Amino acid sequence: MMRTDLNERLATELREWMPVGQRYLVALSGGRDSMALMHFLNVAGYRDLVLCHVNHCLRGEESDGDEVLVKETGEAMGLRVFSTRIGVKAIAEKRKLSIETAAREVRYSWFSEVARKEKCCRVVTAHHSEDQVETVLINFFRGSGSRGISGMKCHSHRDVDGVELELFRPLLAVERERIDKYVEVNGIAFREDSSNAEAFALRNRVRHRLLPEVESIFGRNVRGAVLRAAELSRRDEAWMQANLDNLSVKMSKGLDVKRLRELPEALRDRCIMGWLRESGVPNCGFDEVSRVSEVAMSMDRPAKLSLPGDFHVRRREGVLFLEGPQP
């Protein structure tokens, strides 16, 4: 893997796909990575920045200290700061989510709220290549296909609370040690462990236990290999998604069963997954897609299937219908 530094070359590349004249919301935890990102964006010529911070209230005074640093940073640079305090623990318990997942949901909701206020949907985050490795591993061990194995994208879109956020990850190819060095050389202030120590249990176990064990077993650094698998999956997925557009499977009422049956499995799976997601069926995964696929392929009657969220799939007269929950 090529090593990527936070230097003028990266800045030049960045300006090609992240136009410098526009406004951006910057996700700032106060930790090492996001403080380095802020510094780098400034050096690279990005001026119209709005800082977004969420105090997750997970570590008492420590969390408050993070918030203070973010506000001071905004003041020193003459940038506005949108900061909020949300008790993530209670939300995680209420929604039955892990702390990490709840914290992420809360953060993106906040970005979405600020985006609405500021009429700016562009959000910049500080994810780097080690974050990417961890994401890929977590997705892989959850049984993801190539979409999951390809990990995060440096440029993507995500619909949050009705706002389509445009996400930028300028540091995604940068290794953590390069960020460490950049922080040191430039004397950048940051809060130690401001996010990493926040009980993000699974990600921390992957970082501190799984990766060292894998590297001991294989006798070498495997991060480059994981990133390569991710890159190859990204290419595959890009091509397959591009092929989904011209399948003429979608009809006004549902999916054309005859066309669906003619498709190779890889495309049929993706068609069905896309259709279920667009239609608002919650928690769709491999199992749901497989069951819907069976209904499409089967010649038997009756062909009906229950899905999460009180949805039903029905095959009738060559069409696959989706029926929503009764109001």
Task: Please identify, using beta-carbon distances, which residue of 212 and 280 lies nearer to its own copies.
Answer: 212
Task: Please identify, using beta-carbon distances, which residue of 155 and 228 lies nearer to its own copies.
Answer: 228
- Identify which range of 162-170, 183-191, 201-209, 303-311 contacts its own copies by CB under 8 A: 201-209
Instruction: Decide: is 228 part of the binding site for its own copies (CB under 8 A).
Output: yes
Task: Express the helix, strand and coil content of the chain in percent, nearest 5 each.
Answer: 50, 15, 35
Residues with Cβ within 8 Å of residue 161, at least 6 apart in sequence: 109, 112, 113
Task: Please identify, using beta-carbon distances, which residue of 147 and 314 lies nearer to its own copies.
Answer: 147
Residues with Cβ within 8 Å of residue 68, at least 6 apart in sequence: none
Task: Please identify, using beta-carbon distances, which residue of 62 and 236 lies nearer to its own copies.
Answer: 236
Query: Of 69, 102, 124, 206, which lies in the binding site for its own copies, with binding defined by CB under 8 A?
Result: 206
Instruction: Decide: is 9 part of the binding site for its own copies (CB under 8 A).
Output: no
Find the angle CA(42)-CA(44)-CA(45) to the nearest 5 degrees: 70
Instruction: Decide: is 90 part of the binding site for its own copies (CB under 8 A).
Output: no
Side chain identity, residue 163: V
Say if residues 17 and 44 touch (Cβ distance below 8 Å).
no
**Do you find a cis peptide bond into 302, omega within 30 degrees of 0?**
yes
Shortest spacing between CB 268 and its own copies, in angstroms:
9
Query: Of 154, 188, 210, 247, which lies in the binding site for its own copies, with binding defined by CB under 8 A?
Result: 210
Task: Please identify, using beta-carbon distances, which residue of 152 and 202 lies nearer to its own copies.
Answer: 202
Question: 78: part of which helix (H) or strand (E)?
Answer: none
Q: Which DSSP symbol is given to 167?
A: E
Instruction: Decide: is 217 part of the binding site for its own copies (CB under 8 A).
Output: yes
Structure tokens, 185: 């050389």
Query: Of 51, 173, 226, 307, which lies in the binding site for its own copies, with binding defined by CB under 8 A?
Result: 226
Instruction: Decide: is 96 part of the binding site for its own copies (CB under 8 A).
Output: no
Q: State the burial class of residue 117 (Cβ atoms within 10 Å of its Cβ: 0-12, 13-18, 19+).
A: exposed
Could you tell me the CA-to-CA distances from 303 to 30, 124, 176, 268, 319 in Å, in that order? 54, 46, 52, 18, 11
- State the virtual CA torsion across 137, 158, 264, 141 in degrees, nearest 10: 10
- Identify which range of 67-75, 153-161, 236-244, 253-261 contacts its own copies by CB under 8 A: 236-244
Interaction residues for its own copies, span 139-198 (CB under 8 A): 140-146, 149
Task: Please identify, using beta-carbon distances, which residue of 205 and 253 lies nearer to its own copies.
Answer: 205
End-to-end CA distance of the chain: 53
CA distance 132 to 140: 12
Task: Draw the binding track, 46-85, toward its own copies (x: CB under 8 A; -: no contact).
Answer: ----------------------------------------
Count of positions on this chain that bind its own copies (CB under 8 A): 38
Shortest spacing between CB 271 and its own copies, in angstroms:
12
Residues of the shown chain interacting with its own copies in the complex, contacts defined by CB under 8 A: 140-146, 149, 202, 205-206, 209-210, 213-214, 217-218, 222, 224-229, 232-233, 235-236, 238-240, 242, 264-267, 269, 286
